[in-house]
Amino acid sequence: MIDYVVTRLVVGGLDTNCYILKHRASRAAAVIDPGGDLLVIKNALFEQEASLRLILLTHGHIDHILALEDLRTPNTIVCIHKDDAHMLVERDLFTSMVPHDPRPMRPAEFQFERDGKYKVDPFEFYVIHTPGHTPGSCCFLCGDVLFTGDTLFCYSVGRTDFPTGDAKALEDAIREKLFVLPDETLVLPGHDAQTMIGKEKTGNPYF
């Protein structure tokens, strides 16, 4: 990504990948999936002299949103797909896994309702709705980098054995929306190591 510098942080009790996108020409920053360890995220922003403008949530599971409420500011826009928006203000099946579940949180400032290009100056990105892990799971495409949350991993895919999971929807979304991207597209998932679309098309055992 020519316009952005990407920093990966591993946060929370489930080792979630949280990403910071720092705009090269300004101090503006976006955070994807602040899943815990608030001070780690804030320190990384401070070290980069970054001003947080945008928080993108790939889905609403607690291990991807735990630090959200303390990280957001009056100048921050929080975005999530409409089908997962309720997860910010309701407790769910993961409550028992978190010693102190701070929800209900405030609602997101913006809910994605369609696939396509979005702009929150100076950030431009494409939203790709990929239901299956959750009904509102999304991937974010920034240039040639794809942030996949818990939809697609290195040689794996997201779990669908939760109450709202849908294995067929997940498979269809990956095949029809992600595997059509260029093979050289870098995949930055919500857990574990990075990969590439071409690598997953030929080597992911789920396909």
Q: How do residues 10-54 score in pLDDT, each as one tens digit?
A: 999 889 999 999 998 888 999 999 999 999 999 999 999 999 999
54-63, 80-89, 92-101, 183-192: lowest mean pLDDT where? Answer: 92-101
Mean pLDDT over the full length of the chain: 92
- b/e burial code for range 127-162 (CB count within 10 A of at least 16 → b): bbbbbbbbbbbbbbbbeebbbbbbbbbbebbbebee
Check residue 163 and give its pLDDT. 84
Check residue 174 and give its pLDDT. 98
| Model confidence band, residue 102 (pLDDT cutoffs 50, 70, 90) | low
Check residue 90 and give its pLDDT. 79
- The residue among 92 and 165 whose pLDDT is bigger is 165
Assess whether the previous peptide bond of 122 is cis (omega < 30° from 0).
Answer: yes
Torsion 111-112-118-124 (CA) sign: positive
Q: What is the pLDDT of residues 88-99, one digit of tens each?
A: 887 666 665 666
Q: What is the mean pLDDT of residues 156-174?
A: 94
Q: What is the mean pLDDT of residues 101-120?
A: 88
